[in-house]
Amino acid sequence: MTQISSGDTAWVLASAALVMFMTPGLAFFYGGLVRAKNVLGTIMYSFGALAVVTVLWVLLGHTLAFGPDAGGIIGTLKYVGFNHVGASPLKDLAPTIPHSAFAIYQMMFAVITPALISGVFAERMKFSGYLLFVALWSLVVYAPIAHWVWGLGFLGPRGLGALDFAGGTVVHISAGASGLAAALVLGRRKGWPHESMSPHNVPFVVLGASILWFGWFGFNAGSALSSGGLASGAFTATHLAAAAAVFGWIVPEWIMRKRATTVGAVTGAVAGLVAITPASGFVRPWAALVIGFAAGAVCYFAVGLKHRLGYDDALDVVGVHFVGGVVGALLTGVFASLAANPAGADGLLYSGSLDQLAKQAAAILITIAWSFPVSFGVLKLADAVVGLRVSEEDESIGLDLTQHGEAGYAFADHGASMSA
């Protein structure tokens, strides 16, 4: 009988807390990037996801993603309502920790993924429509893909053999492709791209990105599901890629714009974190530096595509998470090394074969082929049921007041302050 490891359990529970903290970090990151009148509305997208996905994960999401495999497509309902989720391990997936620890850790991934999408439609989606979209999306888009890759489905080690250590396809490519669908369904913000929509609070952006960087250690290193050498390697790769990606972004920015911006530097770091996510447990440290730098540079140029193609991705989810996820997934197929992880594979660099790279490309295409059209349908359904887009008047006033009846910033009346 497999022995539960107290060290592994402690690390996974700590990692779950780190990943949970990423969602509030995302709230600050996104909240600082929008205009002041939408800061609370944007923060509530992340906070709302934390609540609604948690409940749905217990009721249905976990069993669909990690229940006993049904044809490589979806999990059965054995764990509905967290039934049979307790102190015993889930032997095929996490043999040294309690099933409950694995389930709560995976819950935090399910929470942050739809929150990532919210950056696309920031400043223009109703909160009620958002909650319905997130609820449906987490069950019909996220849970199946998580099962395909991590739940012994057809894309993972028992199927195609694509490598995704911590969520390049499951989290970032699915969120990015779904975000593109959302941009097309909701349309442009009022005044975009002609009016200035600059970030209102850059310190918030830096704070949020720093929290994301901190939490990402749990995101990637925690995906080892143990506290040994594999977790240490993923932790190291995560930090190196983020640091290198800062330069991958600001070097071309410096060349083309004659300055290195603060928002650019932190966005580059996020791009590197995105790209190293699928590779973190499969590559050597030097390869993490290469992947990070490449992601920063590629994503820098990718964010400009929205202006050329005419879709309004408010906070660059497509340019950073989708493109960064694709870059990372493909480069995993190049730099993966059995020396880094014997349970992985040798990529192109070590095997001289395109086999693993082809598997990575196939997983990317399958993820897009499911995420984009299904998300498009979910958005249309949510729009028909409760409506998605706020009115032009409400958009002009801002989501904080019109959706939540609050203001993000309260300034004391100058006259009253003087008389006091």
Q: Which pLDDT tens digit goes with each residue over 4-49?
A: 999 999 999 999 999 999 999 999 999 999 999 999 999 999 999 9
What pLDDT is stored for residue 418 in this prediction?
Answer: 36
Cα angle 243, 244, 248; round to 5: 125
What pLDDT is stored for residue 419 in this prediction?
Answer: 37
What pLDDT is stored for residue 415 in this prediction?
Answer: 43
Joined tokens for residue 401: 């007041």
Do 350 and 157 form a contact (C-beta atoms < 8 A)?
Answer: no
Superfamily the domain 7-399 falls into = Ammonium transporter AmtB like domains (1.10.3430.10)
What pLDDT is stored for residue 412 in this prediction?
Answer: 56
Has residue 225 got a pLDDT over 80? yes
Do 197 and 389 form a contact (C-beta atoms < 8 A)?
Answer: no
What pLDDT is stored for residue 129 in this prediction?
Answer: 98
- Helices 202-221, 229-257: inter-axial angle, 10-degree rounding: 150
Per-residue pLDDT band at 233 (split at 50, 70, 90): very high
Per-residue pLDDT band at 93 (split at 50, 70, 90): very high
Rg (CA), the chain: 21
Do 268 and 296 form a contact (C-beta atoms < 8 A)?
Answer: yes
What is the largest distance, in Å, between two alpha-carbon atoms of the chain? 78
- Helices 127-137, 355-385: inter-axial angle, 10-degree rounding: 140
Has residue 217 got a pLDDT over 60? yes
Tell me the one-letter amino acid at 36. Answer: A
pLDDT > 90: what percent of the chain? 96
- Tell me the pTM: 0.95
Each residue of 313-347: pLDDT tens digit? 999 999 999 999 999 999 999 999 999 999 999 99
Joined tokens for residue 160: 């195609």
Per-residue pLDDT band at 416 (split at 50, 70, 90): very low
What pLDDT is stored for residue 410 in this prediction?
Answer: 86
Average pLDDT over residues 163-190: 97
Per-residue pLDDT band at 98 (split at 50, 70, 90): very high
Per-residue pLDDT band at 411 (split at 50, 70, 90): confident
Higher-confidence residue: 420 or 406? Answer: 406
Q: CB 407: neighbour CB atoms within 10 A? A: 14
Mean of the per-residue pLDDT values of the chain: 96
Q: CB 226: neighbour CB atoms within 10 A? A: 20
Has residue 134 got a pLDDT over 50? yes
